Structure 1
Amino acid sequence: MTISFKSLGLSDVRVEHLEAMGFSEPTEIQTQAIPQLLAGRDVVGQSQTGTGKTAAYSLPILEQIDLQGSEVQALILTPTRELAQQVAQAIEDFWVNRKLRVLTVCGGQSIERQIRSLRRGVHIVVGTPGRVIDLLDRNELNLDQLQWVVLDEADEMLSMGFIDDVKKILRTTPEQRKTCCFSATMPGAIRELVQQFLKSPVTVTVSQPKAAPTRIEQKIYMVPRSWTKIKALLPILEMEDPESGIIFVRTKRSAAEITSKLQDAGHSVDEYHGDLSQNQRERLVQRFRSGQVRLVVATDIAARGLDVEDLSHVINYDLPDNTETYIHRIGRTGRAGKTGTAISLIQPMDRYLLRRIERRVRQTLAVDKIPSRSDVEAHRLSKLQSKVQETLAGERMASFLSTVKELSAEYDPQAIAAAALQMVYDQSCPNWLKSDWDVPNIDPNKPIKRSQLRKLGKQNSEDSSDSLPKKSAVPNKAR
């Protein structure tokens, strides 16, 4: 018997919305966790990201949120800013009622803007421990009406030194709240936290997905600090010339921006996200399958509806925060015994994520240098030579021989041919290639400082935009 979202207890409206997004059957973690959370039980989930755990906890919460109020009813803690943004984006895609207000609170963003949003009223807060504590200390984040707390990737928060912050936050929440804790592993400190703050939790466990298929060629490109990722992606696409591919990004906004820039550069590309109507989604999928669109820019959630065979490339424009999402993404290519290519753009601060991916796939992934201007030009000239050879074998060439004969009276035939090739090359040359650019040398093996790794996840109240004075600290509430 096939399990459906409807059988798990979700509403008809929610189920219809999920089906429109391309979600037909729940994953194992969703099948186990959703009914328990709908029943009001605390849950401990041992599951890697990529198994659908975001939907496992967010769908039950969305079913029970009271939109009539303006208080914070759910708090989701994540170890990094990137994961917080990804979770908030997923919740946006899952919601049906546009009155729902979700706020991401983390470092690297204006705390003043976050405070203004809180004062207007927010239903769900997704954030990193450091910024949440900062807002609590300022008396700007009120958790008196909180009903749900989610600890997402608890073991990562432990490894990055946030476990005391998490405990401090939990002590400020109402005792009657419902709590769920998701963690890929269960070290002693996490088990202790569960015992201290969760009430008779139900434990659900999901087996780890298989490793990445060996038929997929994985390529890693290091993007210099002074470069934007789109600047790095353009020469890579020129060299790869993908027949069809999905470019994965974190947010719908990024999808729109990258799609626009790639279209300006002459690529056949479109965006796929949760704001598209069902008819728009179906038309795009059909155009993608028929080859009218070669590249689609999408988030992980939206890409669920892109079930397309024979993908030649998967491109991680934004490297995922975890290994399972990486494996799930690249597994979309290289299917049915065919080969595929997975490309990931990383920046120096992403190297710790790369090391985790290497351990998970049990292989070392060499970091390639972004193709230089001379590399791209040589590649384009090679393609042009192939086209000339094809034309020489055709029949239409004869109509141009008289022109060549006339020019030969004044110019050398080789010079005439070179001039013609130059005209064709210049007309087809994209604007980005005409500009001056050089690829700086980067040492991909330069050690990562521990302080840098901690800063990546924390990034709390130290950014310069945090100019509001702090109010008195929030008194702790004992459980």
Structure 2
Amino acid sequence: MEELGYLTAKEIQVKSMSRILGGQDIIAISPEGSGKTTTYVLSVLTNMKFTIADAPKVLILAPDQDRIQAIVDQFYFISKNKELSIIGLRTGGSMEQEIEKLVAGVEIVVATPNRARAVYLKLGLNLNLIHTLIIDDAEDIIKNGMITPVKELAKSCKKCQHLIFSTVEHEKLHQMVDDFMVQPALIEVEVLAEQQLEVHDLFLYRVPNFTTKINLLNHLMRDTEVFDKVVVFVNSRLTAQKLSKSLHHRDKEEILVLNPLFFDDIGIDDCNLFKERPASRILIVANEGTDHLDLTSIPFIFHFELPENKETFLQRIIKTDQEEHFAFTFSTDLELPEVKRIEQIIGQKMQLMELPTDLAIYNAKKEIRSGTMTPSEKDETRGGAFHKKKESNSKTYNYGGGVKAKMTMKKKKG
């Protein structure tokens, strides 16, 4: 390791290596570039017997072909052993040659969950001797819709150590791993940029799905005293048009769409017109095809959806003058990795906000409408990431009194 330039261990390695080598199941949460891959590569190499393999001992699941190749390369790079008993399975194509190599004897297998499951069902992947199952970039595996094959493979591996590596911890992660992990240690590492960027006040709402985002935005916009001029960013013009139809409004000019998709939608083609109209309170803007927008004199920015380009987000939250803005971000579990990347860049975390206790949480299996269930009953529909709060910690407002006072005060100063 010293020859390769690794002079000191990274925080994730310090916190997890002893637990891994001790045989404990772990869930390691840390950002990109924090040393997660090196951590498990070292642990696997340390435990290897370097004998002729009659069946795989280690199965590593990764989200795509590029990640598979990067993992295999890291094993060769650290071990300096060109004859290392490892194979990276392709994500598609014929399985014949791969099965032949597996039958001949390979100790470490790296594959996507879908490919590993397909080869296993062809009786080409023997899981009986697996002693370590590693899930790398778990957040991307979940995003790619591979939860079910992960569960099936884990159950087929029978008794083994499970090592889960992800940039985020959320409900869907626990849905995937909780059934097969045995009292795992949760290890969390935050690696933020040393230099903090000067940004506006940032607030984060974590919600389970798109429909709940709509419910939350409607809930917040009921406070007309505070939210008198608001810009809401979405990714497409179609979403902008649909969102405008889903928001409650008192008159037809209260909610406008910038450059509407359809000619009969109520909208404008110039942000300055929105600023000048007292009756217009909410402007919905699509990131799609929108150049830099002049947000001066608009105190509230809502990122209903995260833009695909991080630079677009950063342009809106970095301070360029003395004017204050309040930037709110709505994030589902699948969007949370992007939020973490942004926090890493700006060198600070967004302020996590409590969801209002009377917010209608949409459930695809059992639709919850406002007024049909009590707040405590709604809490239990939110899943693992939304635990029922203690009575002493429960809140009946959507942002703290101090935050509201701060927003009102800054608006008056402006």
TM-score range, shorter chain: 0.3 to 0.5
Q: Name whichever structure is richer in helix by fraction.
A: 1
Q: Higher relative contact order by CA 8 Å / sep ≥ 6: 1 or 2?
A: 1
Q: TM-score, normalised by structure 1?
A: 0.40
Q: TM-score, normalised by structure 2?
A: 0.46
